[in-house]
Each structure stands twice: as C-alpha cells, then as structure tokens.
Amino acid sequence: MSMPVCPRCGQGLSAFQVFRTRNRWGRAGPRPRDELWWRCAGCGWLGFQERGSDRLRPMRHLEGDDGDCPFCGGEESTVVSEPWQAEGETRDWSVCLECGTSNQRRVRIR
C-alpha cells in the first residue's frame, strides 16, 4: 500500500494507530482499531481510511469539554467525522484517540 498524500496541502501523511483499551475481557491487552489512521505534519489534517478502500475520510478535533472523552476521561482526545443525514437526523461518528471507543451520535445544529 502506498503512502497517501494530504488532501489539504499535498504532503505525505504519517500513519498512526488508535488502540481499543476499554472493555477488554479476560485481561486482554489493547487491540488496534480496524481503520487506518493518518495525520499531516504540515497542516494538521487528520483522518482515517477503511481497510481495502482508497477513500480518505476527514476527522476534526473537538475542543474544550466537547472534546473530552465521556468513556475514559481523556482531555480533548475526541475527533468527529463529517456529519450525514440518517432517518431524518443529522449524525456524526466520534472516536476517542486515547481509548479507541467510537460512537455514532446525533448532532445538534446550533
């Protein structure tokens, strides 16, 4: 697999792993999430790629209390996807980069 380039600035992206550390039954150790995660050192772009797909999906950091993980308490560790419409609601996908927990959530339009 070739190294993708940043969709924002064109620099090469750096891979990093996000590990699932919660709810590991039987004392199992952390396990990497299934997605491929990428970040750009040049402009700060962050995103993921589903395995077997060429499509890069952008994520953005939440700031302040919204960015704190409700599961592990990691401060400003939560990133979210672009929103989409489903069943008449606006939703996004949040992932904690510290504990690897993800959750679909309803987005409140302000």
Residue 96's pLDDT band (cuts 50, 70, 90): very high
User: Running DSSP on this structure, what letter comes out for residue 94?
Assistant: E
Residue 14's pLDDT band (cuts 50, 70, 90): very high
pLDDT of residue 32: 95
Whether pLDDT at 1 is above 60: no
Predicted model pTM: 0.88
Q: How far apart are CA 45 and CA 12, in angstroms?
A: 11
Q: How far apart are CA 94 and CA 3, in angstroms?
A: 25
24-54 burial, b if ≥16 CB within 10 A, otherwise e? eeeeeeeeebebbbbbbeeeebbbbbeeeee
22-68 pLDDT per residue, tens: 877 777 889 999 999 999 999 999 999 999 899 999 999 999 999 99
